[in-house]
A and B are shown apart, each in its own frame.
Chain A
Amino acid sequence: MPPRVKGEAAGDDASRVARVWELVSAQAVSRGRASVADVCAAAVISLDVSGAWVTAGDGMNPGQAMCATDVVGEGLAEVQITLGEGPCHDAAISGVPVMAANLADGDGYQWAVFAEAAARAGAAAVFAFPLRIGAIRVGVLAFYRDKEGPLDLLQFGSALILADFATMLLLDAEARQPDNPLSGAAPTSQSPDLAAHNAEIAQATGMLTEQLGVGITEAFARLRAYAYAQDRRLSDVAHDIVTRRLRLDPDPPG
């Protein structure tokens, strides 16, 4: 019987997420606060990839390169933004992972110009993971390899967990911008509460768009800021909102 999905199926999700976070925060030790650059560094260590990068963007606009582990990754990020084509571009628009395990053959046909640029830069394979929580879209985490070949299912799963962390870290960074009214209440250094997998958090976020008259990304930021300010678990606050024991005030704090 099978293999990876079966053995991994139940129970060890929490510990696996914790292991990935340990790796990410180990990269951040010197600066104290983890960032998407640490996610990229952790990916290179744990996924057998040559380099990693993060592009921020909502999928509608060209996006912006945030960080890369090397010049090749930097170039691959930039060239896709300039050309408007490539696996990251497709992942940002479609919202699903795009795997190009062999750019020289087959996988490269749909991005002729990008595939050529990738080959010149020394990338044989590119894997792009959208950074999203449902309708909230914040960017793409991508990897390249200098040899062709797919991610195996275990690496694919780890990449998804890294993408979850990158999503939360980008949202945190956004919330800490000085011009953001929520900056005083922004979560900081602990392992982010991975919100993508809790139906009530998603439902509560949707409810807050109406309660507060804001977009989904802002609604989620307000939900997290409230939980953080009250020192409560995000899932508990979400439960109170869904069961209509709690409503949030349209006026932002501060």
Chain B
Amino acid sequence: MDQDLLSDTFVELADTMVADFDVIEFLHLLSDRAVRLLGASAAGVMLADPRGQLRLVAASSEAVRLLETVQLEGEEGPCLETVRTGQPITEPDLRHAQQRWPRFAPAALQAGFTSVHALPMRLREQVLGGLNLFHDQPGPFDPADVRIGQALADTATIGLLHERNLRRAEIVGEQLQAALNSRVVIEQAKGKLAERLGLDMDTAFATLRHYARDHNLRLSDLAQTFVDSDPADFPGLTPQARRRHSQ
């Protein structure tokens, strides 16, 4: 465990909550740091949509997004179970999990993951979502890592609902809705940038995040403005700028 990175991560998560809060950027920070701190190969964050389904809102890579789709379509998998039960769900060896998750286990193995750990994002009695950690090695998780992972998930839950008065269930729903809407705008912006610059989706997303950070913009605001914009409005996000950048 990298102690400096651990303390930096909590400081950074807390900072994100205080300053110009962007929920999607925040959840991406969470999934990125979960990977680096807990030695996972990949991570994803799912939230419970008030419409009645889980939705993926952040992932450390596009591979995780595809895998989470398998969970949603197959209606099985660790994240669904952790949200259903409110308990952590672990599978140290997916090669022996064909019966437990006949669709999810083979898909995860094919993506190169051999063990998985899902941690609930809970607010008192309510389960808002889950943090999924994927590893490319079989074996049980270090209990210390699990505790850190749960602390990260709990911090994320508080961050997600921050500054909101939680007396009413519907306000949790509003907040989740804002996050889910931002996610869609960001996907639209990724598509636009990927097409303009000939990038894959992961690179398009990374480029948007860097641009937002460099220009001190909230990622969701940048995505919205970029989708609505003409090329001239974003001189940094044109093929010319990208060529200059890579030279």
Contacts from A to B (Cβ < 8 Å): 1-6, 8-13, 16-17, 95-99, 101, 132-135, 150-153, 156-157, 160-161, 164, 196-197, 199, 202-211, 215-216, 242
Contact = CB atoms under 8 A, between A and B. Distances in A.
B127 A2 contact: yes
A241 to B, nearest CB: 8
Looking at A10, A160, A196, the one whose CB has the most chain B CB atoms below 10 A away is A10
B191 A17 contact: no
Nearest to B122: A2
B52 A13 contact: yes
A128 to B, nearest CB: 11
A9 B48 contact: yes
A98 B175 CA distance: 11
Interface in B88-132: 125-128
Contact of B50 (A12, A160, A199, A206): A160
A254 B125 CA distance: 56
A132 B181 contact: yes
Contacts of B48: 5, 8-9
Contact of B54 (A9, A161, A209, A215): A9
Given A157-B50, A216-B228, 7 more contacts: A5-B126, A5-B128, A13-B49, A203-B188, A206-B190, A209-B192, A216-B188
Contacts of A97: 173-174, 177
A9 B53 contact: yes
Interface residues of B, number: 48
A10 B227 CA distance: 32
A246 to B, nearest CB: 12
Interface stretch (B5-13, B78-86, B141-149, B151-159): B78-86
Interface string B159-201: 0000000001111111001100101110111111111100001
A160 B180 CA distance: 12
Contacts of B193: 206
A16 B194 contact: no
A10 B84 contact: yes
A203 B185 contact: no
Nearest to B125: A2
24 contacts: A1-B85, A1-B125, A1-B127, A2-B86, A3-B125, A5-B50, A8-B48, A10-B84, A16-B52, A96-B178, A99-B168, A134-B187, A135-B189, A135-B228, A152-B170, A156-B173, A164-B51, A199-B56, A199-B183, A207-B195, A208-B195, A209-B195, A216-B227, A216-B228
Contacts of B187: 134, 199, 202-203, 206
B65 interface: yes
B15 to A, nearest CB: 24
B174 A99 contact: yes
Contact of A99 (B75, B170, B224): B170
Looking at B52, B126, B185, the one whose CB has the most chain A CB atoms below 10 A away is B52
B174 A96 contact: yes
Contacts of A207: 191-192, 194-195
Nearest to B227: A135
A101 B167 CA distance: 13
Contacts of B28: none
Given A99-B171, A134-B185, A157 B191 contact: no
A13 B128 CA distance: 16
A58 to B, nearest CB: 10
A235 B80 CA distance: 23
A244 B192 CA distance: 13
A151 B193 CA distance: 39
B53 A134 contact: no
Contact of B227 (A3, A204, A206, A242): A206
Contacts of A135: 185, 188-189, 223-224, 227-228
